[in-house]
Chain A
Amino acid sequence: MFGLGKRGRRSSGGKSWLGAGAFAAMFALALAFAGPARAQDTRLPVGVSFSILSDIVKVVGGDRIDVTTLVGPDQDTHVYEPTPADVAKLSGTKLFFVNGLGFEGWLPRLMKSSHYAGTLVTVTKGLKPRTMVDDGKTVTDPHMFQDPERVKAMVDNIAAALSQADPAGSTYYAERAKNYQGALDDLITWANKQLAPIAPARRVVLTSHDAFGYLGQRFGIKFLAPEGVSTESEASAKDVANLIRVIRRTGIKAVFMENISNPRLVERIAKDAKVTVDGKLYSDALSQNPEATTYLQLFQHNIRAIAAAMKDNR
C-alpha cells in the first residue's frame, strides 16, 4: 500500500470507489426504471466535468439547460475521484461536457462504471493542443481553457452540441455563443493593454504546476513550475534546485501559488530564492472567493495579478 506513498493511497482508494461506483450505477439504473423524476422541468439536463467549463456551458446554454457539475470550485480535477453520488447525478443528463486531452484522468474509469447513456462532448475537439516536454517525455498540455482565443472555439463546440441535442433552441444558443465570444474578444484586448507596458524579457512567472502554458503562449509570458502538467507528479530535488537557480539568475519577482495545489513547495522555493509570494492564481478551478466565481473574473484576476507582479522583475 505504501509503495507509492500519497499516490498509492489515492489509487487504492480509487479501486474501492470503482466498486462503489458500479453499485451506484446499478442503483441509478433502478431509479431510472422507476420513472422520470423531472417530468415538468423542460430544461435540457447536461453534466459538466469541472467548474470553469461549467461556467462557460452555463453562459452558452442560458435558461434552456440544467447544469450538473462534478468537480466544484477550488477542487483539483487532476486527482479527483468520482463518487457514487456523481454517477447517480450524471445518469439523468443528456450531454456530458468534458475538457478532454487527459485533463480528467478519471474519465475513462467513470465512463466504464457508469454506462453513460447520453452523449460525451469533448469541448477541445478539433483544436490544436500545445505539446510540451515534461521530464524528457513529450506530453499534451490539457489546460486549453487558459487561452481565451481557444475558449472562443470551445464555445462553438458547446453551442453545436447543445443545438444538436435541443434543435428548437439552436438560434438561442448561437446568439448567446456569439455574445460570449464578443466578451472574450474584449477580454483579450483588455489583457493585451494590461501587459503592454511590460517588456518581453521581463514576462516570467513562477507557479506551482504547469497550468498556464496556453496563457503564456497567447501573451508571450514564460511560466516556470516545479510540478509538471498534472498536480499528481512529485518534484525532485533537481527540479527544485534548477528553478531556484533560474530565479536567482534572472531576478524573477513574480511568484504565485494556485488555488488547487500545495502551497508549501512554492513557499519553500520563494524563501530559498529570497523572493516573496505574490499571492494566488486560479489555475484549474473557479473559486468560492468572489474574485473568481466566473471564467471572465478568474481570467481578469490572473492577468491583473501577473501584470502587477511582473513589473518588479529585473
Chain B
Amino acid sequence: MSMVWDLIVGPFSEFDFMRHALVGSLALSIGCTPVGVFLLLRRMSLMGDSLSHAVLPGAAIGYLIGGLSLPWMAGGGMVAGLLVALLAGLSSRRTRLDEGASFAGFYLLALAGGVVIVSKWGNSVDLMHLLFGSVLAVDDPSLILVAAIATVTLLWFGWHYRGLVLDSADPTFLGHGHGKSVMRYHLGFTVLTVMNLVAGFQAMGTLMAVGLMMLPAATARLVARTLPGMLLVAWLVASASSVIGLLISYYLACPSGPAIVLTAGIAYLGALLATPGQANTAKTPAL
C-alpha cells in the first residue's frame, strides 16, 4: 500500500514543477467546471472553443504593447474575448441569427484579425509559442491569476446561483418585467466564462482550459440527475483527471496537457457507454 502511495505522491513531493502543474490544474478545475456545466445547460457548449480563437487579437496586441507580461497579454485577451462574447450576444438578440451563428461570425472575424496582427507586426512564430501557456511551465503569476479567478467564480456562483439557474432553465421566465436582471445574469455569466477561459489559456494552454471545462460537464450531465449532483461530479472528474493525467505524463512520458484532457475524455466515453438509452428522457436536469 505504501508503495502505491509513494508512486502517487512521490513525483509531486520531489518536483516543484509537478506541484505547480497540479495546483494550477486543480484551481482551473474549481473555476471552470461550474462554468462548463451552465454553458452545457444553456446549449452553448462550443462557446469555449470559439473564445479560444477570439482572444488571439487581444492577446497579440497586449504582447505588442507590453511585451511578454502576463497582465498585458491576459488583459488584452480578456478584452477581445469579452468584446466577441458581447457582440455575439447582442447580435443574437437583435437579429435573426441564433447564438451559435453569431459566435461563429464574430470569432472568425477576431481570429482572422489576430492572425493578421501576429504575422504583420510580431515575429510570427515566436508569438504563437508565447501566447498560450503549458501545463509544465506554470509560474507563480499564472498560478495566482488562475486561483484568483477561481475564487471570484465561486463567489459569483454562490451569490447568483438561484437566478442563474432560473435564467438557464427558462430564459423567458425572468424576462417578464425583469429585463434588467436577465441581462445581469447573462452578462455576469459571460464575463465569468471569458475570465476563466483566458486565465486557462495563458496559464495552461487552450486545450487544457476548454478540455477541463467541457468534458467533465458533459460527463456529469450523463451521470448525475440533479444540478448540484452535476456540479459535484464535474468537479470530481476534472480534479481526478488532473491528478491522473499528470501521473500518466510523469510515468509514461506523454505531453501533460493532452494526457489530462484524454483522461477526462475517457471518463466521458465511459459515461456514454454506461448510460445508453437516455435520449428520450428530459434534456434538462431536475433542479
| A interface residues (Cβ-Cβ under 8 A, vs B) | 1-2, 4-6, 9-10, 13, 72-76, 79-81, 83, 135, 231, 234-241, 244, 260-262, 264-265, 267-269, 271-272
Contact = CB atoms under 8 A, between A and B. Distances in A.
Given A6-B205, A237-B11, A268 B139 contact: yes
A268 B17 contact: yes
A267 B253 CA distance: 20
B17 A236 contact: no
Contact of B253 (A81, A238, A264): A238
A1 B49 CA distance: 9
A240 B15 CA distance: 10
| Residue in B18, B124, B130, B132 whose Cβ sees the most chain A Cβ within 10 Å | B124
A74 B259 CA distance: 31
Interface in B166-223: 205-207, 210-211
Contacts of B133: 264
Given A2-B211, A83-B119, A236 B256 contact: yes
B257 A238 contact: no
Contacts of A244: 15, 17
12 contacts: A5-B205, A6-B207, A75-B124, A234-B258, A240-B17, A241-B11, A241-B250, A262-B137, A264-B134, A264-B139, A268-B20, A268-B137
Given A75-B126, A237-B18, A240-B15, 5 more contacts: A6-B132, A237-B11, A237-B136, A238-B252, A260-B126
Classify chain B: how many residues form its interface, as a range.
35 or more
A268 B142 CA distance: 12
A269 B17 contact: yes
A2 B16 CA distance: 28
B253 A236 contact: yes
Contacts of A72: 123
A117 to B, nearest CB: 26
B136 A268 contact: yes
B129 interface: yes
A78 B124 CA distance: 12
A261 B129 contact: yes
Contacts of A238: 249-253
A180 to B, nearest CB: 27
Interface of B: 11, 14-18, 20-21, 49, 52, 115, 119, 123-126, 128-130, 132-134, 136-139, 205-207, 210-211, 246, 249-259
Contacts of B251: 238
B130 A262 contact: yes
B210 A234 contact: no
A260 B125 contact: yes
Nearest to B124: A75
A73 B124 CA distance: 11
A183 to B, nearest CB: 28
Contacts of B119: 83
A240 B136 contact: yes
B250 A262 contact: no
B258 A76 contact: no
B256 A237 contact: yes
Nearest to A244: B15
B169 to A, nearest CB: 29
Contacts of A75: 123-126
Contacts of B253: 135, 236-239
B255 A235 contact: yes
B73 to A, nearest CB: 12
Given A1-B49, A2-B206, A237-B249, A76 B137 contact: no
A5 B255 CA distance: 11
A234 B124 contact: no
B265 to A, nearest CB: 10
A6 B139 CA distance: 19
B207 A5 contact: yes
Contacts of A269: 17
Contact of A241 (B18, B129, B210, B259): B18
B90 to A, nearest CB: 25
A2 B136 contact: no
